[in-house]
Structure 1
Amino acid sequence: MSNLKSAEKLANQEKHFAQSKLRQVLAETIPHQYIVVLKNGVTESAQSIAQQAVSRGGIVPFVYNNAIKGFAIKIASKLVLNSILSNPSVDFVEPDIKVQAFSQVASTGYSRVGGPLSILNGSHPRAVNAGIAIIDTGIDFTHPELNVYKQVSFVPGTSTANDDNGHGTAVAGIVAAEGNVGAVGIAPGARLWAIKVLDKSGTGSMSSIIEGIDYVTQNAGQIDAANLSFGCKCNSSALDTAINNSVAAGVTFVVAAGNAGEDASLWSPASNPNVISVAAMADSDGKCGGLGPQTPYGPDDSLASFSNYGSKVTIAAPGVNIHTTYLGSSYATLSGTSVAAPFVTGAAALYHSLHPTASPAQV
């Protein structure tokens, strides 16, 4: 009898330990979809462990080998989830969650950061020698201002990273528009890597985003900076681990702080200490001093009324009424931390082009 009780106690302890691997997230979850992160030092491949779950009825859309070691999985049975949690190679599992692009469709912002002037006066080359990942809704391949160097999509139902929303194209223009027609970016002509993780509505899954970061990490030798103009009021250990490992591989990550007018510590990836988190400022005259006219989101040189704020914010950049590239070889004027972050991404790329061996911490 005592042996039976001991066995039951051990079984209950093992069950409790397995369940403790399932992380809780404060966000809108995607039903029956999870991100599995393996322990450091596990010798068995992520593909092999994922295949075990597939054999039990799971569907694995992504396997991660670079930014993290693990996989995303869709399951219909708790038995499959329990088998994953019981695997000693698994570090933790978290529910997949929805993530949204930050933007408010509504320019002096470029003048404020000294962007186009550095090109026009010849202090920087017209084609900046840097690789920049735009992890977003994609980029309009046909836009004459944008140098799309590589493209890949991780959105189900799409085969290319050609933009079907406009958000990613707008971000790309602020970073690197060539200035041939209607807009010039901070790092004109830089090599843009269009990495589509958000769909035509500007929404994506955390698992797709991590796959995008995994791809960036795999190509860290060619990508200097990555722009993430999206997020959620959430926490994700898997996302933080992926970003941290990608930064360690040499990629500078710049992210939008968010448009909720809240403390950025509540938002991911803005709260990650290894990223450059960018708030939006209202700038109406391209000059310091706060003497410009009122903007729709506050006085000149003030924090934009929609912008997130707080100790997690690294820097503020112009984010009100920003002129940039858009779908169909057109142009648009946008507001949001989504359009503030690319100013900093472009500046980071410029720095990398002049200091190729600089680490993300030095940037």
Structure 2
Amino acid sequence: AVKAALVSTGQAKVIINLADPAALLAPEAERLAAVEQVQAEVLAQLPAKDFSLVYRFIYAPSLAGAITPEGLDALLSLPHVVSVGLDLPVTGHLSQSLPALGADVVHNSYGLTGSGVNVAVLDSGIDTDHPDLSDDIVATACFAQNGCSPSAIPAEDENGHGTNVAGVITSGGRISPIGFAPDAGIVAVRVLGSNNTGFVSDWIRGLDWIIANRSALNIRIVNMSLGTFDLYPGGCEFEPSMQAAATDLAQLAAAGVTVFASTGNQGSANAISSPACISSVIAVGATYDSDMGREPDNGTYNDIFHGNWPVCFDGATSAQTVACFSNNSIVSDIAAPGARITSAGMGGGSSTYMGTSQASPTAAGVAALMLQSNGLLKPAEIEQILKNTGTPLLDPKSGRQIPEIHALRAVLATNPPTVSISGPITGRTQETYVFTATASTSFLSVPVIYTWQASGQATITHTAKLSDTITYTWPISGVQHITVTATNSLYSIANTHAISLYQKTRAGFDYSPASGVAPLAVDFTNTSTGDYDTCTWSFGDSHFSSACSNQKHVYRSPGVYAVGLSLSGKGGSDTFNIHRAIFVGFSGVITPSGGVITSTYDSTVYAFPANAFTGTVTVTHIPRDFAGLPLFGYLYSINHIFETRAVYSNGQPAQPVLTYTISVAYTDTERGPAVEQTLGFYTLSGSQWARAAASSANTRNKTVSVSARRLGAWAILGEVRRVYIPVLQRAPSGP
């Protein structure tokens, strides 16, 4: 194509593509230096008479200018040169769409207007003092070989196309219809002349400027309602004329900038213009914005607009009709209303255009709403959401479907509604747990119906606002699942929560024997249940064990011992205590000559006279538990309850034949509320406690003693102190 142009004119406008000297995402300073160096090396080998430089691009390793046949031959011999393509001419691709796409709901119900999102518009410029646009202009620049505005602002629109496109995005609605993102900022980059034409190199230079100023100007979106006259059936990023543009556009996409471009208006079923055909660009075709009847009213689009417009018409139209003039191909991405679109016009008024040029800024405006809703969206995510939430439309000329975007559904999808469940993730059987469901604010309308389903539980339904709570108790261990479904007029969203339940820990033990003479060996059987892995046995005599198994413990001293077992683990903690569990006594041998047995444990002294027994016996003293004994009634125990036994060496029980004495020392603390003078030894008589006749208390040395002829169960009791308050009566009054 370049050689053919040289034959006819002797000189051609070209774009020279050089081998990329640095990675696309290399540090900016490193990449700029490398690009500048390779450009300088090529320019140094081109005679000035054979190449006239127009643009030395900043970010793309390319050059634009006019070349002679001799210059082309020299270029093609240089090692850095990858390709040379024509600098193709480009042109701009020439209310009811806003409510049709639900954008009015986005504005009014959700308060999203594109605020904080800046859109760069590469076009014919902008009417900088238009009442609907002036307050949204962030910056301007101009790169148009066909001439920038001679005014103080080079990007001032001299055609009207760019002003209409900018208005579709951000018109304030004062004069012309409101735009899709009325509070979005506009960075107007003029790359088309007053006749709405320019060159590929112009918008490459504009893209260079956008890359350099992207961060400072917070540019998140680029709209390019322009394109080449040449059409491409597929991706065109490797075409020599497009390589530099594709490099810049790829850098913008990598930096998080979403680029929209119009597919063109030639009515092609299988090819679209550039830059829409570049893979990092979202290619936008056009639909009608409403039922407009036949379009055009008479004849064909070519009859009306001439030039490259197709010889076609649409006999019936609606907001779901793909316009017959809209180019389509396998790389077309989405469609949006583009006919007829009234928006801002030059001179502060309104203008009506139709074409894919108006469809592309419609999509860009919707993207601005999406980014205000969720500023973390990446270009690929924006494209996918627009496609997924769009309405599939059939393009009859190609037989392919293309999704028409819908602003409301797209914005809602940027922060899809969710329902979360908060609550414990571990627990124990037989315990009650609270779970809370919270619907995200993007549910938007209340009431919300919460349907709760849980393992082994009945389904429960509540009606609430954006949160609801429920309680569950499970009898069995294992993983239990709780599912809640939140439903309102717009959504039905479910989520599931899992809780791992462990068998609740219950401590317990059996033991045998419960009483005996020291040293007493007691077997303890762990009867605990539940999920536990830590155990502590306390035997009451300052001895402990951390084993969870059954235990054997030997009590070597007389006493009454409390025993406890403490457990902990996934099933929780529990302790089982028996405060008077083990009763360990003492023993002594009494010969026929008599003797004394003394216990340091409970200050008990037995004195047996000679010949108290008919032979040698072993006398045992074993503490007794209160449990199972008759109630003391008005008597008070001072914690001396015991049983005395005697056996001969052959194991036969023995009873003394002479009177013996038992003496027990007590303390004031033990005495408690008992009247000291009434303390004495009591024995059981049937189901009643009876005082031994020969029992007495010595309050001076604090002992209680008894003289007895029988061995058996004893309790030292005293009468409870009683306080009497006399009742005083008032004497009768009067004479």
Indicate the TM-score class for this superposition, using the shorter chain for normalisation.
0.7 to 0.9
Q: As a proportion of its length, which structure holds more strand?
A: 2
Alpha-carbon separation, structure 1, partners of 2:124 and 2:170: 16
Aligned partners of 2:46 and 2:74 also within 8 Å: no
| Equivalent in 37, 52, 57 of residue 17 of structure 2 | 37
Alpha-carbon separation, structure 2, partners of 1:187 and 1:98: 31
State TM-score, norm by structure 2: 0.42
Structure 1 residues 130 and 81: CA distance shift in structure 2, 3 A? same
- Determine if the alignment matches structure 1 residue 360 to structure 2 residue 354: no
Structure 1 residues 310 and 119: CA distance shift in structure 2, 3 A? same
Alpha-carbon separation, structure 2, partners of 1:341 and 1:158: 24
Cα displacement string for residues 134-190 of structure 1 (whole angstroms, at most 9, x for unaligned residues): 101111111111122111111133251111100011000001112233321111121
- Counterpart of 2:242 in structure 1: which amino acid? S
Tell me by how many angstroms 1:332 deviates.
Answer: 1.3
| Equivalent in 135, 153, 159 of residue 165 of structure 1 | 159
Aligned to 1:303, the other structure's residue is in SS state coil
Higher deviation after alignment, 114-123 or 267-276: 114-123
Higher deviation after alignment, 146-155 or 165-174: 146-155
State TM-score, norm by structure 1: 0.82
Aligned partners of 1:54 and 1:60 also within 8 Å: no
Aligned partners of 2:148 and 2:190 also within 8 Å: no
Cα displacement string for residues 263-283 of structure 1 (whole angstroms, at most 9, x for unaligned residues): 353422222222111111123
Structure 1 residues 260 and 216: CA distance shift in structure 2, 3 A? same
Per the alignment, residue 237 of structure 1 pairs with 242
| Equivalent in 249, 252, 255 of residue 255 of structure 2 | 249
| Equivalent in 66, 71, 80 of residue 89 of structure 1 | 80
Structure 1 residues 302 and 269: CA distance shift in structure 2, 3 A? same
Larger Cα Rg: Structure 1 or Structure 2? 2
| Equivalent in 123, 126, 129 of residue 139 of structure 1 | 126
Aligned partners of 2:56 and 2:63 also within 8 Å: yes
Matches within 5 A, 1:306-321: 306-321=325-340
- Determine if the alignment matches structure 1 residue 153 to structure 2 residue 142: yes
- Counterpart of 1:40 in structure 2: which amino acid? D
Aligned partners of 1:50 and 1:60 also within 8 Å: no
Structure 1 residues 23 and 54: CA distance shift in structure 2, 3 A? closer
- Determine if the alignment matches structure 1 residue 64 to structure 2 residue 60: no
Structure 1 residues 317 and 38: CA distance shift in structure 2, 3 A? same
Tell me by how many angstroms 1:108 deviates.
Answer: 1.1
Aligned partners of 1:46 and 1:63 also within 8 Å: no
Per the alignment, residue 328 of structure 1 pairs with 347
Q: As a proportion of its length, which structure holds more helix?
A: 1
Cα displacement string for residues 115-142 of structure 1 (whole angstroms, at most 9, x for unaligned residues): 23422345214x6111101101111111
Aligned to 2:87, the other structure's residue is in SS state strand
Aligned to 1:328, the other structure's residue is in SS state helix
Alpha-carbon separation, structure 2, partners of 1:193 and 1:54: 36
Aligned partners of 2:39 and 2:61 also within 8 Å: no
Aligned partners of 1:35 and 1:96 also within 8 Å: yes
Cα displacement string for residues 17-76 of structure 1 (whole angstroms, at most 9, x for unaligned residues): xx9xx7999xxx99521111221226352552464266533221211122x12211223x
Aligned partners of 2:272 and 2:329 also within 8 Å: no
Structure 1 residues 314 and 83: CA distance shift in structure 2, 3 A? same
Alpha-carbon separation, structure 2, partners of 1:305 and 1:353: 33
Alpha-carbon separation, structure 2, partners of 1:53 and 1:194: 37
Aligned to 1:92, the other structure's residue is in SS state strand
Aligned to 1:219, the other structure's residue is in SS state helix
Per the alignment, residue 179 of structure 1 pairs with 173
| Equivalent in 259, 263, 276 of residue 269 of structure 2 | 263
- Counterpart of 1:328 in structure 2: which amino acid? G
Percent identical among aligned pairs is: 31
| Equivalent in 220, 223, 243 of residue 224 of structure 1 | 220
- Gaps of at least 5 residues in structure 2 are 23-33, 232-238, 297-313, 383-735
Alpha-carbon separation, structure 1, partners of 2:10 and 2:350: 34
- Counterpart of 1:279 in structure 2: which amino acid? G
Cα displacement string for residues 213-263 of structure 1 (whole angstroms, at most 9, x for unaligned residues): 111222232211111111122453323333223222321110111111103
Matches within 5 A, 1:196-215: 196-215=190-209
Per the alignment, residue 579 of structure 2 pairs with none
Aligned to 1:204, the other structure's residue is in SS state strand
Aligned to 1:45, the other structure's residue is in SS state helix
Aligned to 1:280, the other structure's residue is in SS state strand
Per the alignment, residue 186 of structure 2 pairs with 192
Aligned residue pairs total 329
Moved over 6 A (4+): 22-25
Higher deviation after alignment, 173-182 or 30-39: 30-39
- Gaps of at least 5 residues in structure 1 are 1-18, 286-291
Alpha-carbon separation, structure 1, partners of 2:214 and 2:269: 31
Larger RCO (CA under 8 A, 6+ residues apart): 1
Aligned partners of 1:33 and 1:74 also within 8 Å: yes
Aligned to 1:307, the other structure's residue is in SS state coil
Aligned partners of 1:264 and 1:313 also within 8 Å: no
Aligned to 1:200, the other structure's residue is in SS state coil
Alpha-carbon separation, structure 2, partners of 1:86 and 1:56: 17
